[in-house]
């Protein structure tokens, strides 16, 4: 496996090998699915839409609906205006969504299609909406695309009507529906009214009932996204995916932004709960303190399974930053930390964590898995954490592997199990411990196989 | 029944907006043996329609070039396209000794905004250099994505220079996503490039009974299963295009005697061009299904006409049949009488009808995602197909007879005798074999899928990942026939058992019995006294 990867590391200037990111539009498509009765629309060649639907479908094992402008060579030369206008007409007549959320592709961006003008020139049925986000694939990553679509939602939908609603906006970031559910559960326990958008719970984890619903029950309602302009604060969970949406709300509607880490692990969840406490003025209820106490109990009782182990973490910056902080709090050593998404703030933040914890590690943004593999070849780790593509390295170097992030294409159920909040932290500890202990069991000599661990 | 289905189909498309109705009505036919219905295919999908189709790049890089083990296939463009085709087609390939197997790698120039503005050639040149320095591959293929065509990077020039500088085959494929109307254009572009730059370069000699297997992508190990049987019978397999394939083997493909074609749609161009250039005949085979595998093996043996091969073929067929007999009986009992709808590929919606028939199942709907009319109606319609603007954008190359390597195996008399008997250089298409009253749909879309599932209520819907969970939510088992749901092989005799096992499992898994909660099934039991029954 990966036998052609040499140990000797050389800087590359032109070639990316085994990327740790993908392009903007898939993030935009995912975000758009978090609006109730919304059909994401990919303005470009058919292939983009097909690829994005495939990846999201494989990750969630649920239907992912989206349409495409089906560019041909003619549209690429003369502009995609007529394709978009035809699309909008057909989509409303055939698929009848409440909202069409258009995102661009590298193709339509390169030819410079003016989406707002095309939307203005389109016939949009009464009560229906078409929004858009520019998501050129040659900038940023799928995280940027998610962020841009959230910004688009604010720009097109949110309004400050002057009547305060006493709510808090929650922008959950590029996380699974289960994580969104968990963030909502904790907020409800804090007795704080909220508006979450986007919200893919109930959309990409819909029940099987024997009747297919193209637009399942879930998703943020347009009226709620509109009302987000009247909230007292926006909590943006994860800087890369959510901060820009929060700033947009501040600019447009004067809603104060507060940027937090994705609440993965004990400290990040503590900060999330503290923020909710401060905003709501409510005390933290016993249920939450009980969960936190259980987590601390687990961390103490199980520390010897993972304390001191070296781990390599890769994936999306918001998740990776939070995970790095969490594994440090577990006594682990995040030796290599890498994201494919560009961003100096990622490197700075993780370097700071390394420094504070006295860890001699490597950190890279805009990195690829070929680099990560070469680092590991030079000095190995005890555990690898990341999305499915890490399995090649895990196999090549025989390293236990915990799947966290996007996309996970080779295991099911993960999207139903939260990794955020105290409960999510417990689950991560279970995943990490089991991966390490399974390996110990598998490799133990008969006389060393421990019944009790 | 037939008129009933026709009415329902008419009703289904009547609900479309006028222009969409006008377009779609020619893509859907209800089979009627008394009329010769033509179907419209390989035309643009209407914008806004939720099609399953992909793009030209997907057909070129994803399908045809992707499975080659010993080549660096470098995607020139932003990161997405390369990322999405990294390992996702299940390109299984076993490493030969001291060979470089590059299948687990993804190579991209990851173009950034400045490259789009100032041109990406410099970065491409650098990427080619780095790839060759690190991997020293047998060949390097550059595949361009949408923006590359627009900014005008001369990838052919970069390839030419690199080939000169590094002394390996470096070929550029201008397979921008917007070209053509589906993946199909990309197959054609890949075929052209392989004929021009790879096939014919080798000089290894092979025996008389040597074949190339064309259009076999080794999904789930299908190609290995086909090779296994061909080798037991006594054939030499010179190359497989392109599943578990190598550039090394492809270079010698012109030395084989016969081309056998599994997927007509994606590779018939190579079959035709090799016939013209090297004199090799091709025959269409289908290794999916038991009866069809038997027919394919007998046809190949007949082509060579060697008594020993013919006898060995019968022996192998008998042995393989005996091997699977008991298992097949078990699954036939579960599956007999069930119905299937197939929407897949440019060949599989035809191929799988055979294995379903072997199991006693009936195909009530079949359609292709990116096929042409000849895949539906047979190659006899080729001369009637008018080229439109989109198909003209895909280069049509002409090849000349290669005098040094041109060999004709069959004598004129023998060719005439066999031509019809084993359908030499011919494919009959899907429609002829379908039952009266069954539905044929080209470029089936989301709305039609939903409606057909309601109208036809098949027991199994065989399609791809984008539809799979739509069917499941509607209570119908769906089997992916692109990726086989990561199972396989499904080809030949043993493959038929695997397929039967997977379909039987999917239909009968206990989960289906829990869809409706008990309190919704018999509310009337409320208030009854326990112990009375």
- Among the residue ranges A98-107, A425-434, B34-43, the one predicted with the least confidence is B34-43
Determine whether the interchain pair B447/A95 forms a contact, defined as Cβ–Cβ distance below 8 Å: yes
Among A58, A86, A107, the residue with its CB nearest the CB of B178 is: A107
Give contacts of A392 with chain B, Cβ < 8 Å. 104
Q: At residue A386, what are phi and psi to the nearest 5 degrees?
A: 175, -170
Residue of B nearest to A100 (CA): B48
> How many whole angstroms separate alpha carbon A236 and alpha carbon A244?
9
Residue of B nearest to A80 (CA): B47
In DSSP terms, which residues pair with A403 in a beta bridge? A386
Which of B50, B61, B461 is the best residue to mutate to test the A interface, defined by the most A CB atoms within 10 Å of its own CB?
B50
In DSSP terms, which residues pair with A235 in a beta bridge? A170, A258
Tell me the ipTM for this assembly: 0.97
Residue of A nearest to B16 (CA): A94
Which of A44, A212, A369 is the best residue to mutate to test the B interface, defined by the most B CB atoms within 10 Å of its own CB?
A212
Distance (Å) from the alpha carbon of B21 to chain A's nearest alpha carbon: 11
Checking DSSP bridges between strand A383-386 and strand A401-403, what pairing results, if any? parallel
Rounded to the nearest 10 degrees, how much is the dihedral formed by the CA atoms of B385, B386, B391, B396? 80
Q: Are A248 and A165 in contact (CB under 8 A)?
A: no
In which band, very low, low, confident or very high, does the pLDDT at B36 lie, cut at 50, 70 and 90? confident
Kindly state the DSSP code that residue B387 receives in the 8-state scheme: P
Give contacts of A389 with chain B, Cβ < 8 Å. 86-87
Q: Where do the domains of chain B lie?
A: 56-197
Among A53, A86, A106, the residue with its CB nearest the CB of B146 is: A106
Distance (Å) from the alpha carbon of B164 to chain A's nearest alpha carbon: 20
Structure token pair of residue A320: 């990776």
Q: By percentage, how much of chain B surpasses pLDDT 90? A: 94
Determine whether the interchain pair A16/B110 forms a contact, defined as Cβ–Cβ distance below 8 Å: yes
The per-residue pLDDT of chain B, averaged, comes to: 96
> How many whole angstroms separate alpha carbon A137 and alpha carbon B108?
13
Distance (Å) from the alpha carbon of A363 to chain B's nearest alpha carbon: 20
Please tell me the pTM assigned to this model.
Answer: 0.97
- Catalytic residues of B, by residue number, are 55, 58, 89, 187
Structure token pair of residue A280: 């709501």
Give contacts of B52 with chain A, Cβ < 8 Å. 50
Q: By percentage, how much of chain A surpasses pLDDT 70? A: 100
Among B108, B131, B465, the residue with its CB nearest the CB of A19 is: B108
From B192, B193, B186, B110, select the one nearest B148 (Cα to Cα).
B110
In which band, very low, low, confident or very high, does the pLDDT at B526 lie, cut at 50, 70 and 90? low
Q: For domain B56-197, which CATH number applies: 3.40.50.1980, 3.20.10.10, 3.40.50.720, 3.40.50.800? A: 3.40.50.1980
> How many whole angstroms separate alpha carbon B363 and alpha carbon B177?
33
- B172 pLDDT exceeds 70? yes
DSSP structure string for B129-156:
HHHHHHH--SEEEEEE-HHHHHHT--HH
In which band, very low, low, confident or very high, does the pLDDT at B97 lie, cut at 50, 70 and 90? confident
pLDDT digits (tens, 9 = 90+) for B352-380: 999 999 999 999 999 999 999 999 999 99
Give contacts of B105 with chain A, Cβ < 8 Å. 2, 4, 17-18, 370
Q: Which residues of A328-340 are buried (b: 16+ CB within 10 A; e: fewer)?
A: bebebbbbbbbbb
Among B48, B95, B149, the residue with its CB nearest the CB of A90 is: B48
From B483, B381, B388, B396, select the one nearest B428 (Cα to Cα).
B381
Query: In order of start, what are the domains of chain A with their CATH numbers?
Result: 24-157 (3.40.50.1980), 168-287 (3.40.50.1980), 306-419 (3.40.50.1980)
* pLDDT at residue B533, rounded to an integer: 45
Give contacts of B446 with chain A, Cβ < 8 Å. 65, 95, 214
Structure token pair of residue B519: 């309190």
From A93, B518, B347, A75, select the one nearest A67 (Cα to Cα).
A93
Residue of B nearest to A388 (CA): B87
């Amino acid at each position: 496996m990966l036998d052609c990867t040499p140990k000797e590391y050389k800087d590359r200037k032109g070639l990316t090998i085994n990327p740790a990111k993908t392009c903007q539009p898939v993030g935009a498509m995912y975000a758009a699915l978090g609006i109730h009765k919304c059909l994401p629309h990919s303005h470009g060649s058919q292939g983009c839409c097909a690829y994005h639907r495939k990846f999201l479908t494989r990750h969630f094992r649920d239907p992912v609906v989206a349409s495409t402008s089906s560019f041909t060579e003619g549209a690429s030369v003369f502009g995609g205006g007529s394709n978009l206008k035809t699309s909008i007409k057909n989509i409303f007549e055939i698929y009848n969504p409440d909202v069409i959320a258009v995102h661009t592709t590298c193709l339509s961006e390169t030819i410079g299609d003016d989406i707002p003008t095309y939307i203005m020139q389109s016939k949009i049925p009464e009560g229906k909406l078409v929004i858009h986000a520019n998501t050129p694939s040659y900038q940023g990553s799928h995280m940027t695309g998610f962020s841009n679509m959230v910004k688009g939602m604010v720009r097109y939908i949110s309004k400050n009507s002057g009547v305060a609603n006493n709510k808090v906006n929650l922008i959950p970031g590029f996380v699974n529906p289960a994580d969104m559910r968990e963030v909502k559960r904790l907020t409800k326990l804090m007795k704080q009214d909220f508006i979450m958008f986007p919200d893919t719970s109930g959309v990409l984890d819909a029940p099987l009932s024997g009747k297919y619903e193209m637009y399942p029950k879930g998703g943020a309602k347009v009226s709620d996204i509109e009302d987000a302009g009247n909230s007292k604060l926006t909590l943006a969970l994860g800087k890369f995916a959510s901060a820009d949406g929060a700033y947009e709300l501040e600019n447009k509607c004067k809603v104060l932004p507060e940027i937090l880490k994705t609440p993965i692990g004990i400290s990040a969840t503590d900060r999330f709960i503290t923020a909710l406490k401060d905003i709501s003025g409510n005390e933290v209820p016993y249920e939450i303190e009980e969960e936190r106490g259980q987590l601390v109990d687990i961390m103490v009782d199980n520390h010897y399974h993972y304390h001191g182990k070296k781990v390599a973490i890769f994936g999306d910056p918001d998740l990776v930053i939070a995970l790095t902080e969490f594994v440090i709090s577990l006594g682990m050593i995040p030796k290599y930390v890498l994201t494919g998404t560009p961003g100096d703030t990622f490197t700075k933040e993780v370097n700071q964590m390394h420094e504070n914890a006295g860890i001699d590690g490597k950190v890279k943004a805009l990195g690829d898995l070929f680099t990560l593999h070469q680092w590991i070849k030079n000095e190995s780790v005890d555990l690898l954490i990341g999305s499915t593509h890490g399995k090649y390295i895990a196999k090549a170097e025989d390293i236990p592997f915990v799947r966290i992030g996007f996309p996970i294409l080779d295991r099911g159920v993960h999207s139903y199990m939260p990794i955020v909040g105290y409960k999510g932290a417990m689950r991560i500890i279970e995943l990490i411990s089991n991966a390490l202990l399974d390996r110990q069991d598998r490799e133990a000599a008969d006389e060393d196989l421990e019944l009790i661990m | 029944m037939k008129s009933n289905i026709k009415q329902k189909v008419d009703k289904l498309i009547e609900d479309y907006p006028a222009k969409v109705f006008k377009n779609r009505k020619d893509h859907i036919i209800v089979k009627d043996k008394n009329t010769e219905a033509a179907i419209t295919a390989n035309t643009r999908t209407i914008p806004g329609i939720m099609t399953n189709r992909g793009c030209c790049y997907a057909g070129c890089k994803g399908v045809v070039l992707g499975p080659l083990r010993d080549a660096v296939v470098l995607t020139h463009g932003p990161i997405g396209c390369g990322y999405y085709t990294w390992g996702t087609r299940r390109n299984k390939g076993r490493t030969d000794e001291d060979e470089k197997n590059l299948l687990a790698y993804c190579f991209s120039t990851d173009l950034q905004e400045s490259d789009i503005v100032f041109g990406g050639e410099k970065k491409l040149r650098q990427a080619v250099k780095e790839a060759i320095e690190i991997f020293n591959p047998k060949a390097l293929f550059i595949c361009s994505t949408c923006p590359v065509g627009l900014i005008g990077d001369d990838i052919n020039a970069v390839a030419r220079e690199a080939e000169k500088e590094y002394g390996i085959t470096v070929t550029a494929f201008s397979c921008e996503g917007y070209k053509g109307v589906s993946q199909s254009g990309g197959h054609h572009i890949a075929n052209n490039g392989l004929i021009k730059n790879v096939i014919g370069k080798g000089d290894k000699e092979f025996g008389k009974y040597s074949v190339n297997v064309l259009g076999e992508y080794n999904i789930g190990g299908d190609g290995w299963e086909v090779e296994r049987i061909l080798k037991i019978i006594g054939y030499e397999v010179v190359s497989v295009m392109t599943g578990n394939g190598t550039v090394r083997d492809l270079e010698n493909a012109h030395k084989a005697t016969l081309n056998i074609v599994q997927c007509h749609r994606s590779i018939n161009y190579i079959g035709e061009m090799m016939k013209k250039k090297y004199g090799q005949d091709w025959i269409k085979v289908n290794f999916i299904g038991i009866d069809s595998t038997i027919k394919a093996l007998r046809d190949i043996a007949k082509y060579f006409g060697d008594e020993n091969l013919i006898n060995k073929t019968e022996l192998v067929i008998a042995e393989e049949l005996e091997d699977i007999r008991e298992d097949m009986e078990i699954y036939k009992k579960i599956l007999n009488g069930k119905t299937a709808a197939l929407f897949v590929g440019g060949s599989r919606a035809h191929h799988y009808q055979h294995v379903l028939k072997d199991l006693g199942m009936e195909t009530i709907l079949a359609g292709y995602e990116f096929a042409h009319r000849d895949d539906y109606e047979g190659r006899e319609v080729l001369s009637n197909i008018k080229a439109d603007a989109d198909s003209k954008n895909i280069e049509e190359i002409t090849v000349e007879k290669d005098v040094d390597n041109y060999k004709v195996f069959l004598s004129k008399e023998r060719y005439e005798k066999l031509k019809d008997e084993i359908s030499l250089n011919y494919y009959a298409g899907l429609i002829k074999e379908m039952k009266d009253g069954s539905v044929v749909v080209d470029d089936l879309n989301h709305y039609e899928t939903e409606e057909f599932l309601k109208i036809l209520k098949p027991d199994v819907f065989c399609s791809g990942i984008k539809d799979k969970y739509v069917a499941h939510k509607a209570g119908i088992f769906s089997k992916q026939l692109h990726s086989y749901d990561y199972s396989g092989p499904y080809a030949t005799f043993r493959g038929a058992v695997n397929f039967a096992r997977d379909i039987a499992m999917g239909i009968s898994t206990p989960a289906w019995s829990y869809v409706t909660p008990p309190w919704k099934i018999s509310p009337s039991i409320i208030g009854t006294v326990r112990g009375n029954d």
